[in-house]
Amino acid sequence: MMRFITLFFLTLFFALPAQAHEVHAGGGFISGFNHPVLGFDHMLAMICVGILSTKLGGKAIWTVPAVFVLFMLCGGIIGLLSLPIPLVEFGIAVSVLLLGLALAIDKRLPQWLVMAFVATFAIFHGHAHGVEMPQLAEPALYVLGFICGTSAIHVVGVLLGIAMQNKDPRNRFVRSSGGVIAIVGGYLLLSV
């Protein structure tokens, strides 16, 4: 299992950071699903949310990702209404950086603080989804797709977090993975 996890994070690290914020030709479920799944920055942030929720434990395993999805929808609605949010790409890059740092630091953060950060970051991620929707033929299916894609990535993050904690109770792999993700977030921040 640790080999799989190592291979997964090495693949993420060496993959080219894709900016997923471009208008998709199709506008259905698959297009919406692909946005977070194929968007490198979205995927890293959501993996971190899942892993971070397992570090908090208890109800946080599902409430932290649920807060992300709820506020992502709010950001999507803001984008759909063409209401501007300044520095969306910057906010997404910062989310990758800070969520990676939260894993790397390995301190037990208060759940309310994690939820506040996750909610804020989710608004930026949702806005990136929402600004695309008016140009799409099937916005309801697109929304359902990006919710399912986001939720699937959170589940993968939770499963990775549980597997890493079971194999490495001292969280060395979580911390080093968080450090790598934070470095990628710094790179994304510099390229905004």
pLDDT tens for 68-127 read 999 999 999 999 888 999 999 999 999 999 999 999 997 888 999 999 999 999 999 999
Contact 44, 95 (CB under 8 A): no
State pLDDT tens for residues 48-70. Answer: 999 999 999 999 999 999 999 99
Contact 153, 46 (CB under 8 A): yes
How confident is the model at residue 2, as a pLDDT?
A: 56
Give the whole-angstrom CA distance, residue 27 versus residue 142: 6
How confident is the model at residue 9, as a pLDDT?
A: 52
Cβ neighbours of residue 35 under 8 Å, at least 6 residues apart? 20, 24, 42, 128, 129, 132, 145, 146, 149
Q: Which two tokens stand for residue 28?
A: 């259905």
* Count of CB atoms situated within 10 Å of the CB of 88: 21
Contact 110, 53 (CB under 8 A): no
Residue 137, classed as helix, strand or coil, is coil
166-176 exposure pattern, b = at least 16 Cβ within 10 A, e = fewer: eeeeebebbbe
How confident is the model at residue 32, as a pLDDT?
A: 87
H helix runs in the chain, sequence order: 2-14, 29-38, 40-56, 60-80, 88-105, 111-130, 139-167, 172-190
Q: Which two tokens stand for residue 66?
A: 């649920």
Contact 99, 161 (CB under 8 A): no
Cβ neighbours of residue 81 under 8 Å, at least 6 residues apart? 130
Give the mean pLDDT of the chain: 86
State pLDDT tens for residues 137-156. Answer: 688 888 899 899 999 999 99
Contact 163, 52 (CB under 8 A): no
pTM reported for the whole predicted model: 0.84
Q: Which two tokens stand for residue 132?
A: 């695309």
